[in-house]
Amino acid sequence: MFVWLVLVGVLGGCASAPRTSPPPVSDTGGSGPPAGLSQREREGFYHLAQGNEHLWLAVLRALPSRSTLEGKAAGFQSFLDAPERFGFLADPDSSEGLPVGVALVPATERQPVARVGLNCAACHVGEFHYRGARVRVDGAPSLLNMDDFNREAVEVLSRTLLDRTQLLAFLQRLAVSLPESARGGRPRSLEQVADEQLQKAYPDTDLTPDGNSSAREKLVAEVEWYCGSQTPSPCAPPLLKADPVVLREFDEQLNQYFHELSRKQVRTVPDAIRVLRGHLVYFMRLGTLSFAAQAGPGRVDAFGVARGVLFGPQVAGVLDAPVSYPCLWEFQTSPWLHWDGNTNSIMERNIGQALGMGAVVDRRTFESSVLPRNLAEMERLSRKLVSPRWPEEAFGALEAARIERGSGLFTQNCQGCHDKPGVIPLETVGTDANRARSFASMVGDLEFPAALHDLLSRVKQRAYAREAMTQEELSPLEPGLVYWRAPMGYVSRPLAGIWASPPYLHNGSVPTLWDLLQPAARRPARFPMGQHEYDPEKVGYVTEVSGTPRFTFDVSLPGNGNGGHEYGTGLSDEEKRDLIEYLKSL
């Protein structure tokens, strides 16, 4: 069964940006001993493949952006250009110019087309801007907006297929960008193709290179012939219905499509159109699900999507439990993972993430495209991430007196829950309950945790066997017994590096620490999200921006509640500032 759901964060060209090294360093200067990842390890963390790389790099570069189709771009802008509009961060060290979190599988003799997908870093590298300084932190939550990414992909793929002018232009760009080996080793472009099928369709037309038709006319003729050769047209976007039988058949066809496509050479216009249409259906899978509200930047309702894609839209219902991407540093201090501590299995979590980012799995055999050794390597790299120190050179020096006073306030108001990891029951913490309740739903006669474990464990064992992974390799990653559970609460973690993980609470409903220390009724009901501008006094993203914000967070929508966690709200303003200064120092 094909899966496209973004589980990272729960199951887990840009403008130039600074090279990353925690402690964070601004692009205005500053220094610090490298800690955490080495430069080589960082390259792996940013771009290591996980088994979900099915999108052709040449297709994404030949595909127009929405701005191009709307005539707003200066010249041609591809779908991959200006990825910051989706929240991706630039990687100045990428030889292919790919942003952070885009994994690349280079072309080979067996698979002659370079392919890309997303990995952990797309959601787990953050960047904060203040007065011209940019501070990047490995392991911090990003502002990636998967809603926008998927919507624009579906839109531009559909419009390119439906608009003959755009389709012709796409085919010509694709022909130029594909390596010769991917075109069958023949040094010609698609617009020069005049194959037997085309000649049969136009028997009275001289389509030879010496004939009267130009190369473009031949391309137009072939496109018109192919797109009109069947009903429904093979150039029309597919119609997907939220019907389990239809979706199961669709998934099986798509699995076969990607199996064949990965080894396919593009020799004809029909080949290229099938490739384009395949990319469209890849992105359309989420269109069968119903969302109560957009997740927006830095959030995803991963387990809700998992229920729908793995077990059917009728099981998912209306998805209403988006959560923020969590920070990754020091997560190994707890045996339980995710916002609600719902599993102790690192590798099942990681395999779920790979499936979520686009890996394919055959539900009949549980064979998949996930790469368990690479997932184990990503786990090793994640464990090296360290909590970032407050970047005084970028955000200003800390005040020792305030830190000292704040330490006592932390002991009185925070330490009881945040001295070590533990699950705080919903009735105690009082925060939005949708995420916790969502994981406790049923899949037929099984609770969702049990159904999910059954699927992931089967995929895991098949992947281990395929790559002949040894017990020595697996022992650091696997607990004795694997548990998936619905504890009906949220994990409280130690707060090291808390300054680098806004917005706050599990659903990102509170923009700053200052707002979190206010009674729930006085917290912002609506605030902008998607901008990197940082407020070092309130500690979080700025809530006043000029112009139209990329996204507006609305706490009145399902799953977005900002109530609960009313600890320290009775402190005076000066005491709150002292406490915040201490939190900045952790």
CB atoms within 10 A of CB 115: 23
Confidence (pLDDT) at 534: 98
Strand-pairing partners, residue 527, are 553
Contact 21, 32 (CB under 8 A): yes
**Alpha carbon of residue 160 to chain centroid:** 24
Confidence (pLDDT) at 223: 64
Q: How confident is the chain (586 residues) per 10-residue block, as mean pLDDT?
A: 27 31 33 64 96 89 95 94 97 94 87 88 97 97 95 92 84 72 44 36 43 54 64 62 49 50 60 78 73 95 83 83 94 89 93 81 86 95 94 98 98 95 96 96 91 95 95 86 95 96 98 99 98 98 90 98 98 99 98
The rounded distance, in Å, linking the Cα atoms of 457 and 576 is 46
Confidence (pLDDT) at 10: 26
Sequence-ordered list of residues with C-beta below 8 angstroms from that of 88, at least 6 positions apart, any chain: 14, 99, 100, 101, 102, 122, 142, 144
Containing 103, the helix (H) or strand (E) segment is: strand 102-105
What pTM did the predictor assign? 0.84
Burial classification of residue 412, based on how many CB atoms lie within 10 Å of its CB (0-12 exposed, 13-18 middle, 19 or more buried): middle
In the chain, the largest separation of any two C-alpha atoms, in whole Å, equals 90
Give the CA radius of gyration of the chain: 25
Confidence (pLDDT) at 109: 73
Confidence (pLDDT) at 579: 99
Sequence-ordered list of residues with C-beta below 8 angstroms from that of 323, at least 6 positions apart, any chain: 9, 10, 299, 300, 301, 302, 339, 435, 506, 507, 508
Confidence (pLDDT) at 361: 80
Q: Strand pairing of 290-291 and 318-319?
A: parallel
Confidence (pLDDT) at 50: 94
C-alpha distances (whole Å) from 83 to each of 74, 78, 88, 359, 523 are 16, 10, 6, 22, 32
The rounded distance, in Å, linking the Cα atoms of 307 and 302 is 9
Residue 68 backbone zone (phi > 0: left; psi -120 to 50: alpha; other: beta): alpha
Confidence (pLDDT) at 514: 99
Contact 368, 465 (CB under 8 A): no
Beta strands per DSSP E along 399-487? 422-425, 442-443, 446-447
The rounded distance, in Å, linking the Cα atoms of 17 and 585 is 25
Residue type at 201?
A: A
User: 372-383 and 346-356 are packed helices; what angle lies between their axes, rounded to 10 degrees?
Assistant: 110
Dig out the tokens for 357 from the structure: 């980012």
What does residue 386 show for φ and ψ, rounded to 5 degrees? -115, 150
The rounded distance, in Å, linking the Cα atoms of 349 and 329 is 16
Contacts 24+ apart (CB under 8 A), 227-232: 227/164, 227/273, 229/201
Q: pLDDT tens digits, residue range 175-208? A: 777 665 555 544 333 333 333 333 333 344 444 4
Q: pLDDT tens digits, residue range 101-160? A: 999 999 877 777 888 999 999 999 999 999 999 999 999 999 999 999 999 998 999 899
Is the backbone peptide bond immediately before 23 cis, with ω within 30 degrees of 0? yes
Confidence (pLDDT) at 248: 55
**Alpha carbon of residue 410 to chain centroid:** 34
CB atoms within 10 A of CB 262: 17
What does residue 220 show for φ and ψ, rounded to 5 degrees? -60, -45
Closest CA to 368 of 514, 466, 293, 276: 466
C-alpha distances (whole Å) from 160 to each of 166, 189, 278, 300 are 5, 19, 13, 28
Burial classification of residue 558, based on how many CB atoms lie within 10 Å of its CB (0-12 exposed, 13-18 middle, 19 or more buried): middle
Confidence (pLDDT) at 334: 86
Confidence (pLDDT) at 36: 82
Confidence (pLDDT) at 360: 78
**Alpha carbon of residue 26 to chain centroid:** 25
Is the backbone peptide bond immediately before 232 cis, with ω within 30 degrees of 0? yes
The rounded distance, in Å, linking the Cα atoms of 230 and 87 is 40
CB atoms within 10 A of CB 108: 10
Contact 227, 235 (CB under 8 A): yes
